[in-house]
A = this chain, B = another copy of it.
Amino acid sequence: MARPPRYDSGRFLDAAVRLAAEAGPAAVTMAAVAKAVGAPSGSVYHRFASRPALLAEVWLRTVEDFQEGWFAALGDGGQGPRAAARAAAVHVVAWSRAQPRAAALLLYGPADFGQGGWPEESEARARAGHERVRTALAELCADLGEDGARAAERVALAVVDVPLTIVRRHLRRGEDLPPYAEQLAGDSALALLGAG
């Protein structure tokens, strides 16, 4: 017994992703999102209580999608910790290749999307995701027989940060990822882990 929705929140989020990828988080204004979708600004506020709430959702939806595949790659097949690390590193690049606009968001940080001013529910989701990653990295470390803050950092570099940096190099210049990017990420991960 109600008027049917005409814009669902996904459409607004998709537009927000596009805007952020093309011109940075600052370009994601409520007015710009509304215009991109062809909706009046009131309709955006019907779905998202505020600009911080929208930015939080854009960030979290993207990061959670990314993490889902990353956890799967890391845990997949029992081929030992080094193979798992390689698979995770490769996944970062493969996911970015499949969704370059979403990947462009990850190159920013939550702070650039206003974290700190988010609704508490969003802050909690961010903490939960962060915690899951932290735990997975700690387990990987243990499986590799490494310990200490320094080893933990080398592992994190290998399976997350360096692959993302490879993506950053190209996306920042507006280029596509080269065909060898996955292999470079995988090889770099093994090289860093082997450097122990």
Contacts and interface: CB of A to CB of B under 8 A. Distances in A.
A188 interface: yes
Nearest to A148: B180
A2 to B, nearest CB: 39
A59 B56 CA distance: 28
B150 A161 contact: no
Contact of A191 (B112, B166, B194): B194
Contact of A111 (B150, B162, B172, B191): B172
A161 B153 contact: no
A153 B112 CA distance: 27
Interface residues of A, number: 30
Contacts of A169: 153, 156-157, 161
Interface of A: 24-26, 109, 111-112, 149-150, 153-154, 156-157, 161-162, 164-166, 168-169, 172, 178, 180, 184, 187-188, 190-192, 194-195
Given A26-B26, A166-B157, A169-B153, A187 B195 contact: yes
A21 to B, nearest CB: 11
A166 B160 CA distance: 12
8 contacts: A24-B26, A153-B166, A153-B169, A153-B184, A156-B169, A162-B162, A188-B195, A191-B194
Contacts of A165: 157, 161-162, 164-165
